[in-house]
Structure 1
Amino acid sequence: MADRTEAAALNLKGKGDLAELMVAADLRRRGFKIAIPFGEDCDFDLVLIRDDRLERVQVKYAESDGIVIRVRCQSHSLTNGKVRRTKRYTAKTIDLLAVYDRTSLRCYYIPASELGAGRAILHLRLKPALNKQHIGTRPAERYLSLA
């Protein structure tokens, strides 16, 4: 379990930077090569080199409640602290949505094909639903490996 005081000390940029580092380290541990795009204007944070293919990876920071990980599938462009534009991720802009969960200290990898035409939020379940519902749920363990 992550130290809440330490997590609270991180600002949004710091949380994003931490997530990118943790995902990059996880991918390297798995034996993949990665590249980091130059500048802030890309729709993705990392490039995964897998089987001689380049895959665009958008990285997200999350803090689960131990039951569900809420994954934001969009980003906001800000001007003077105000949201100027909201961009939802799709398979046209990324190949993989990688999530670093600060609570479990694990990385999860969601294929962009699961994002459809763009969605605001996606939920990964760390524990089964209390009502025993399985249809339409996404068990988090399914996303621990790269498909």
Structure 2
Amino acid sequence: MNTKDVGDTSEALVLAELTRRGYSVAVPFGDNDRYGLLVDADASLYRVQVKTGWREGDCIRFKTGSQTTADGEATVEEYTDTEIDAFAVRCRDSGGLFWVPLEAAGRKSTYLRVEDAAIDHPRVSYAEEYAFENALPPR
């Protein structure tokens, strides 16, 4: 699969799981919005960017920027809180789904630690904390 196919698959799986859990999900028309899904959680709407993560050592990693190419030049743009509220991440290796609020994500990449390690640092994020069953907003 090419990268667009991989992204479309992640978006479809995230959308299906959110719907299965009772959320109303809307997909914006076209490819011009910075978010890929709108998630209705009762009184709140969340602008969500879907990303595909992968296993890297004892972490699940996903990129938090958006790469575009214009005139042969690739640029990576960061998401801001005026554009999205959260990332929904599908790990292509495990199939796990994660909900990571924008403020919990790194600037270029985010690493969610899968295995317990003897690291006591405020920037260490554990995958279990962000798994859908633990992190989705209430509905």
Answer yes or no: same fold by TM over 0.5: yes
Cα RMSD (Å) = 1.6
Number of residues paired by the alignment?
133
Q: Give the % identical residues.
A: 35
Please name the residue that 1:134 is paired with: 120
User: Measured at CA, do residues 51 and 86 of structure 1 come closer, stay the same or move farther in structure 2, by a change above 3 Å?
Assistant: same
Paired residue type of 1:97? F
Q: Per-residue deviation at 1:44?
A: 0.5
Matched residue SS, 2:82: coil
Match of 1:3? none
Aligned-partner Cα distance in 1 for 2:71–2:13: 29
Query: Following the alignment from structure 1 to structure 2, what is the Cα–Cα distance between the partners of residues 72 and 133?
Result: 22
| Structure 1 residue 17: Cα displacement | 0.3
CA contact (8 A) 2:68 2:76 kept: yes
Deviation, 1:81, is: 5.2
Structure 1 Cα separation of the partners of residues 26 and 18 of structure 2? 11
Are 1:120 and 2:111 matched, yes or no?
Answer: no
Runs of 4+ in 1 over 2 A off after TM superposition: 79-82
Q: Are 2:23 and 1:36 aligned?
A: no
- Deviations 1:46-102 (CA, angstroms, capped at 9, x unpaired): 00011132210000011214621111010111136541x321122221011111001
Which ranges in structure 2 are unaligned for 5 or more consecutive residues?
Answer: none
> Residue 54 of structure 2 contacts residue 62 of structure 2 at CA under 8 Å; is this kept in 1?
no
Aligned to 1:86: 76
**Corresponding residue to 1:108 among 98, 101, 110:** 98
Task: Give 3-state SS (helix, strand or coil) of 1:34's partner.
Answer: strand
Q: What is the letter of the counterpart of residue 126 of structure 2? A: P
Q: TM-score, normalised by structure 1?
A: 0.83
CA distance in 1 between partners of 2:127 and 2:72 (Å): 33
Instruction: Specify which of 3, 11, 23 is matched with residue 12 of structure 1.
Output: 3
TM normalised by structure 2 equals 0.88
